[in-house]
Amino acid sequence: MELTLAHPVLKAFMCGSLSGTCSTLLFQPLDLVKTRLQTLHGSMQPGSSRVGMVSVLLTVVRTERLLGLWKGVSPSFARTIPGVGIYFSTFYSLKQHFFPDGPPGALHAVLLGGGARTVAGVVMLPVTVIKTRFECGRYSYGSVAGALRSVCRTEGPAALFSGLMATLFRDVPFSAIYVMFYSQTKAALPREISSSPSAALANFGCGILAGVLASLITQPADVVKTQVQVNPQLRTLQAVTLIHTESGLRGFFRGAVPRCLRRTLMSAMAWTVYEHMMAQLGLKS
């Protein structure tokens, strides 16, 4: 019995990990630009000219070459491949346990998405901290393993869980809102579209809509999370105060465009690939 239960969960983990690999490789430059935007403004003097997404992109290419846009891709892989696998396998397990007979309703989708993201977020937080530090350009770590050892040695293991609350306040609502909008818009599609060869494209469109809404709602928490993880001496409330003092309410939406693009496209692709692979394996996602 245990093997029977574990088998589809393992398949869900593998499908999720593969979808995370593809989306991470494609959209890592957007994540790097978002992190640079959020950390640059903390060090700018009042009255400085605004720094936009394109100028940061060009600066990275000019100073670190084209491959500089993929700086931090190793910790991104280390975080996303198992992280997305954990997320989807947890989501699948919860769905099969609580709602085995049909698609969940809106409230149930919120609980499923939020629960799965809580598990994945806590488990993968140490690698998330390292990933953020790689991308910001202030730290010169040689590898993910070396960075983990360095942080434990110089700052203590607790530093690997810096920004835990801000991360959960960002990721749990994002996933809950995303799954709710995604599942409900997909369920509203006409039957002829859902069963046609263009079903994957329609599902991707549903994912785009859900991703935009979820990204904008959770953007302030992402800015706070980045500041706490890059500046470990800051507490969450201190980071909120600092951002507001330096930039006002607008500061909580620094990097919103690249993050919205990345999270929207990445989530839409991950769900589309995951559901397609699960269907090929004969499993209900």
Identify which has the larger pLDDT, 157 or 280. Answer: 157
Q: Could you tell me which residue, 96 or 197, shows the higher pLDDT?
A: 96
Kindly report which listed range (3-17, 172-186, 210-224) carries the lowest average pLDDT score: 3-17
Range of the domain at 8: 2-280
Q: Which residue has the tokens 């994002």?
A: 174
Cα(123)–Cα(218) distance, rounded to whole angstroms?
A: 20
pLDDT at 41: 52
Amino acid at 168: L
Whether 285 maps to a domain, the answer reads: no
Percent of the chain past pLDDT 90, that is, above it, reads 34
The rounded distance, in Å, linking the Cα atoms of 209 and 65 is: 33
Range 265-280 average pLDDT: 86
Q: How many domains does the chain have?
A: 1
Residue 50 confidence (pLDDT): 54
DSSP 8-state assignment for residue 70: G
Judged against a pLDDT cut of 50, whether residue 252 lies above it is answered with yes
Residue 229 has pLDDT above 50, yes or no: yes
pLDDT in tens, 122-178: 999 999 999 888 888 788 888 888 899 999 999 999 999 988 988 898 899 999 999
Rounded to an integer, the average pLDDT of 242-253 is 90
CB 271 within 8 A of CB 199: no
Nearest alpha carbon to residue 79 among 36, 115, 122 = 122
- What percent of the chain has pLDDT above 70? 94
Region 273-285: what's the mean pLDDT?
81
Q: CATH code at 182?
A: 1.50.40.10
- 48 vs 60, which has greater pLDDT? 60
From 184, 189, 178, select the one nearest 270 (Cα to Cα): 178
Please report the pLDDT score of residue 49 as a whole number.
40
Confidence of residue 238 (pLDDT cuts 50, 70, 90): very high
Q: So what's the pLDDT on residue 2? A: 43
How sure is the predictor about 51, in pLDDT bands with cuts at 50, 70 and 90? low
User: Using one digit for the tens of pLDDT, what is the confidence trace for 165-207?
Assistant: 888 988 999 999 999 999 999 888 888 887 788 888 888 999 9
Amino acid identity of residue 136, one-letter, is C
Quote the CA–CA distance of 103 and 165 in Å, as a whole number.
30
* Residues in Cβ contact with 26 at an 8 Å cutoff, skipping those fewer than 6 apart: 265, 266, 269
The pLDDT mean for the chain works out to 86
Give 3-state DSSP helix, strand, coil % of the chain, rounded to 5.
Answer: 80, 0, 20
Q: Identify whether the C-beta of residue 235 lies closer than 8 Å to the C-beta of residue 191.
A: no
How far apart, in whole angstroms, are the C-alpha atoms of residue 276 and residue 45? Answer: 49
Q: What is the pLDDT of residue 3?
A: 41
What pLDDT score does 218 carry?
92
Mean pLDDT of 115-123: 95
* Phi-psi category of residue 248: left, alpha or beta, with phi > 0 → left and psi -120 to 50 → alpha: left
Look up tokens 């818009």; give the residue: 185
Most confident of 19-23, 156-160, 227-231: 156-160
| End-to-end CA gap in the chain | 20
